Structures are given as C-alpha cells and as structure tokens.
Amino acid sequence: MLKATAFACLFFTDEHDNPLQLRAVYSRTHPWQLVGGTMDPGERPWDTALRECQEETGIAFEGPTTLLASVFGRPGKEWPYATIGFVFEGGRLTCDQIRSLALDPAEHDEARVLPLPEWQELMPQRDFARLEAVMEARRSGTAAFFDSWDWDD
C-alpha cells in the first residue's frame, strides 16, 4: 500500500556557489527544481540521483556520496501522498559544464544559475526554504532535515 513517494537529487552550483536549477515544463507549482526525480520501484536513493542526473543533464556523476539534506512533506490536495526526498552533494560545475548541459525537453526547458536571493522571487516559499536549507547544509557541513515541504501552504 503506497504511503509515500520518494525522490532523490543532486545539488550543483557554479564555481561561485550559485545554485543550479532546472525549469520544469510539467509543473506550474514547482517551476524550478534541483537535478533529480522520483525513485523507481526498488531503486535506492543514490541510484535515483545518478540516473536522473544522467537523464536530465547528460552528466554521468560518480560521487562521492554525500547527503546534504533529507526532505519530508505531508500530503495535500494536489498530491495525496507524503513525500520523502534525499538531496546529495553534486559539487561545483564550471561555466563550460553548465553551458554543455543536455536537457531533456520533455522535462526541462532551461537551466539557470542565480545567486540565492534571486531565486526567492521565482519559487514558491516552501521550495525556496528547502533551497536555503540545502545551501546552509553545504556551508556548514551538517546535513539538514527539512520537514516542512508540505503540499498545502
């Protein structure tokens, strides 16, 4: 019986620690997203992050495996299941690597790198708060537990 859905992603920045996000063509409620996606049945979180990274950007990331944050959200009207997520460290990408990302047009139509404060205007508050928590986890070296990524505000 399905009780929760799970996702895993990689958190990348440019060389100046500005977060990289992808604009989803399929989600008006979560327009800007980290590189990653929903786990397939039987798949482990790290394997999901690697698979999704390859599919969404063309990057064949290898590691190391460093957890930056775990994410939990309660179900809501839009999505009737709890959501559990894992955000892994992806590291810093060069300008050339960012320019050469191979986006899947069925999922994302743009990759953008911006300073953290500029993301706030482009994202729902809960998504921005998660992004802030991930940035702080990277800065501090302490993994975040972000448990307010709820579907209903």
pTM score > 0.85 for this model? yes
Averaged pLDDT of the chain: 93
* pLDDT of res. 74: 87
For the chain, give the percent of residues with pLDDT over 90: 78
* pLDDT of res. 90: 97
Find out whether 53 and 59 touch, Cβ atoms under 8 Å. yes
Look at residue 149 and tell me whether its pLDDT is greater than 90.
Answer: no
Dump pLDDT digits (tens) for 80-103.
Answer: 888 999 999 999 999 999 999 999
DSSP 133-147: HHHHHHHHS--EEE-
* pLDDT of res. 152: 63
Dump pLDDT digits (tens) for 115-132.
Answer: 999 999 999 998 999 999
Q: Give the phi and the psi of residue 111 in degrees, each rounded to 5.
A: -110, 135
* Residue of 118, 68, 111, 115 lying closest to 89 (CA atoms): 68
Residue 151: band (very low, low, confident or very high) from pLDDT cuts 50, 70, 90: low
Domains in the chain, start-ordered, CATH in brackets? 4-146 (3.90.79.10)
Q: Name the β-bridge partners of 141.
A: none
CA distance 37 to 45: 10
